[in-house]
A and B are shown apart, each in its own frame.
Chain A
Amino acid sequence: MNYEVVIGLEIHVELDTVSKMFCGCSTKFFGEKPNTFTCPVCLGMPGSLPVANEKAIECTAKIGLALNSKIASFTKFDRKNYFYPDMPKDYQISQYDLPICEGGYVDIEMEGLALEGSGSRGYTRRVGITRVHLEEDTGKLTHIGESGRIGGADYSLVDFNRAGVPLVEIVTEPDIRTPDEAKIFVQKLKNIIEHLGVSDCDMEEGSFRCDANISLRPMGSKELGTKSEVKNMNSFRAIQRALVYEIERQRELLRADERVIQETRHWDAANNVTMSLRSKEEAHDYRYFPEPDLVPMELSGEWIEDLKNTLPELPDARKKRFVEAYGLSVYDAELLTSSKTMGDYFEECARAYNDAKKISNWIMGEFSMHLNATNLKIEESAVTPKHLVQLLRLIDKGQISGKMAKDVFKEMFESGKLPKIIVEERGLSQISDEDAIEKIVDMVLEENKKAVEEYGSGKDRALGFLVGQVMRLTKGSANPQLVNEILRKKLT
């Protein structure tokens, strides 16, 4: 039997506010000592009272607006009750029936991929957004024992620094059909949120986390199959690979007439498998009720409208503008707007240098190659827009050839030195002096009479050989166009 894959995602985003969701503790605890960013409120001390951080409400509504959601005119917080030592209160303040944002969608472009059964290349998938709500993040547990995992641990240690950090949960409809779609969706969502400037979206530090609900159903069936929930996918690559694995695992079960068990599975990137967490059978009965310590919120149409007007340019609009304003191809514009920092980098170059296509070629060619090889992001590179623009100018002036520029780029990527300095230090410069080239050309012609004759008898290939000889003698520093011109002139 053929099965249809059904995937829905839950994405958690830590907001980049100065202080926590319900108290004034700083959120900048990464790398700091455990339990040094707490207060009676986020420790759940009796008698302490939470007060909502207005900025976090704004950020959540902004995310909703960017995802085409409807912003609630009336919204409230609820208690989600559960026993787990990652929260000191034994409940998490979250939102249940009246989230800040409901509905919405994100369109993703699946370039060059055929939709199953259609044969067309490239398609758009609209992924529905169910809701976007605001809650508080939990503390961090460290499990002490041989495996370092919860199962089989001797005991655990709790750090409450993260407890109470504003956390936005975005839930999608089960509209995703392939691991590729899931990956592209998450990339786009991350890009939108980065453009909004409400989170640093660092997947490694855990400020942008993704869980997936996956099930399979017979092709054409309307009912959903039993799902599993996959957690711990902390890179785009992990999301894609975990889903591929999980789909195959479920398909095999179903083909063998076995049952898929509804459970939470952990992606183990080192072994390339999803594993059942094998925790005690948890009764998922959170007994939500309205949080009595926080009053409800009314968001006026005017407030929402004002917020809408403060939204920055989002990736789709930016892509369109890159095509229109800079004359880039859709493909180039797509790649250059695939992260906020990449787009910002390009624009900073484009303000100083007017050949956008050249900038784009360098960023996507040589620059990306070095970034990928060193696993760096563009903003982490020593090559600033100033470096790149200076390099392009040196090429334009004919001071260095395109080939030399690649070597200079490599060095400035490694050392962070400005290209002008590298050129000076290495004594590099392209010979664009006609007299100098003529002398060398004369020498080459004198030494390669055979090739000259061959050219004379109509063999064009011989010209290439002669150009090569000149380049060899100048160690590649002669301006090749000039060499060509001079050779042709001398040979006729």
Chain B
Amino acid sequence: MAISKKEVEHVALLARLSLSEGEKEKFSKQLSQILEHAGKIAELNTEGVEPTSHALPIKNVFREDEEKTCLSQKEALSNAPAKEDGMIKIPKIV
């Protein structure tokens, strides 16, 4: 399964990565190899095996609807590179 340069560009855009032309070539090859390797699993006979989204044999793990203590504003903002009026300050979006 070959990954085209165009697909690499699309994935890079979605991941907000800026890649050089050389990197695009390189990742196109590497991603193709990774997919090819993962594709090996398709060789297995999976007849009669239910599709699964999860590797753990557990289900229905819930919590009660109960209130717990929150972080203080100071704690919540302690990792923010910039803040203003108790909010996280971020660069313009568009």
* Chain B residues within 8 Å of A38, by CB: 70-71, 76
User: Which B residues from 43 to 94 make CB contacts under 8 A with A?
Assistant: 53-54, 56, 58-73, 76-77, 84-94
Q: Is the CB of A297 within 8 A of B60?
A: yes
| Nearest-Cβ distance from residue B12 to partner chain A, whole angstroms | 11
Given A18-B66, A33-B86, A39-B71: A283 and B13 within 8 A (CB)? yes
Do residues B70 and A36 form an inter-chain contact, with CB atoms below 8 A?
yes
**In the complex the two chains form, what is the Cα distance from A157 to B88 in whole Å?**
5
Asked whether any CB of chain B lies closer than 8 Å to the CB of A295, the reply is yes
Cβ of B16 under 8 Å from chain A: yes
Per-residue contact bits, chain A 284-296, to B (CB 8 Å; 1 contact, 0 not): 0101001010111
Q: In the assembled complex, which residues on chain B have CB atoms less than 8 Å from the CB atom of A208?
A: none
**Does residue B38 face the partner (Cβ distance < 8 Å to A)?**
no
Selected contact of B16 from candidates A17, A83, A279, A294, CB within 8 Å: A83
Contacts A279-B94, A295-B59 known; A157 to B67 CB distance under 8 Å? no
Is B10 part of the binding interface, using a Cβ–Cβ cutoff of 8 Å? Answer: yes
The residues of B that contact A43 with a CB separation of less than 8 Å are 71, 76
- 1/0 contact trace for A363-404 toward B, CB 8 Å? 000000000000000000000000000000000000000000
Answer yes or no: A101 CB below 8 A from chain B CBs.
Answer: no
Among listed A53-61, A268-276, A446-454, interface-contacting one: A53-61
Q: Provide the residues of chain B in CB contact with A115, threshold 8 Å.
A: none
**Contact A295 B70, beta carbon cutoff 8 Å:** no
From B63, B76, B91, contact of A54 by CB (8 A):
B63
CA distance A23 to B54 in the complex (A): 21
Interface size class, chain A: 35 or more
Pair A25/B61 contact, Cβ less than 8 Å: no
- Chain A residue with minimal CB distance to B60? A297
Whole-angstrom distance between the Cβ of A79 and the nearest chain B Cβ: 11
Name which residue of chain B comes closest to A156, CB basis: B90
Interface-centre pick from A83, A157, A290, A297 (highest chain B CB count, 10 A): A157
Residues of B with C-beta under 8 A to A297: 59-60
Within 8 A of A (CB), among B4-63: 10, 13-14, 16, 53-54, 56, 58-63
Give bound CA distance, A153 to B94, whole Å. Answer: 8
A26 touches B67 (CB 8 A): yes
Q: How far, in angstroms, from A294 to B87 measured CA to CA in the complex?
A: 29
The residues of B that contact A409 with a CB separation of less than 8 Å are none
Which chain A residues lie closer than 8 Å to B70 at the CB level?
Answer: 25-26, 36-39
Instruction: Give the residues in chain A near B72, CB-CB below 8 Å.
Output: 36
- Residue A205 is within 8 A (CB to CB) of chain B in the complex: no
Give the distance to chain B from A426, nearest Cβ to Cβ, in Å. Answer: 49
A141-B87 Cα distance, complex, nearest whole Å: 9
> In the complex, which residue of chain A has the Cβ closest to the Cβ of B87?
A157
User: When the two chains form the complex, which single residue of A18, A19, A26, A296 contacts B53, counting CB atoms closer than 8 Å?
Assistant: A296
Return the chain A residue nearest B64 by Cβ.
A54
The answer to whether A33 and B73 have CB atoms under 8 Å apart is yes
Contacts of A36 in B (CB 8 A): 70, 72-73, 76, 86
Q: Which of A39, A52, A298 contacts B68 (CB 8 A)?
A: A39
User: Quick check: A157 and B84 within 8 Å, CB to CB?
Assistant: yes
Q: List residues of chain A with CB within 8 A of the CB of B88.
A: 35, 157-158, 160
Q: Which chain B residues border A57 with CB–CB below 8 Å?
A: 62
Q: Is the CB of B87 within 8 A of A151?
A: no
Complex alpha-carbon distance, A51 and B92, angstroms:
33
For residue A15, which residue of chain B has the nearest CB?
A: B65
Q: In this assembly, does A225 line the interface, its C-beta being within 8 Å of a C-beta of chain B?
A: no
Q: Taking the complex as formed, is A148 at the interface, i.e. its CB lies under 8 A from any CB of chain B?
A: no
B92 in contact with A156 (CB, 8 Å): yes
B88 CB, min distance to chain A CBs, angstroms: 4
Q: Which residues of B lie under 8 Å from residue A285 when comparing CB positions?
A: 10, 14
Contacts of B66 in A (CB 8 A): 18-19, 24
A52 near B63 with CB under 8 A, answer yes
6 A-B pairs closest in CB distance: A24-B68, A290-B53, A54-B62, A55-B65, A157-B87, A158-B88
Sample (22) of A-B pairs whose CB atoms are under 8 Å apart? A18-B67, A19-B65, A19-B68, A24-B63, A33-B73, A35-B77, A36-B70, A36-B73, A37-B70, A51-B61, A53-B65, A55-B64, A142-B87, A150-B93, A153-B92, A153-B93, A156-B93, A292-B54, A295-B59, A295-B61, A298-B59, A298-B60
- State the B residues within 8 Å of A (CB): 10, 13-14, 16, 53-54, 56, 58-73, 76-77, 84-94
Having A38-B76, A76-B53, A157-B90, one finds 15 other A-B pairs with CB under 8 Å, namely A23-B68, A24-B66, A24-B69, A34-B85, A38-B71, A39-B71, A43-B71, A53-B62, A81-B14, A153-B92, A155-B91, A158-B87, A283-B10, A285-B10, A296-B53
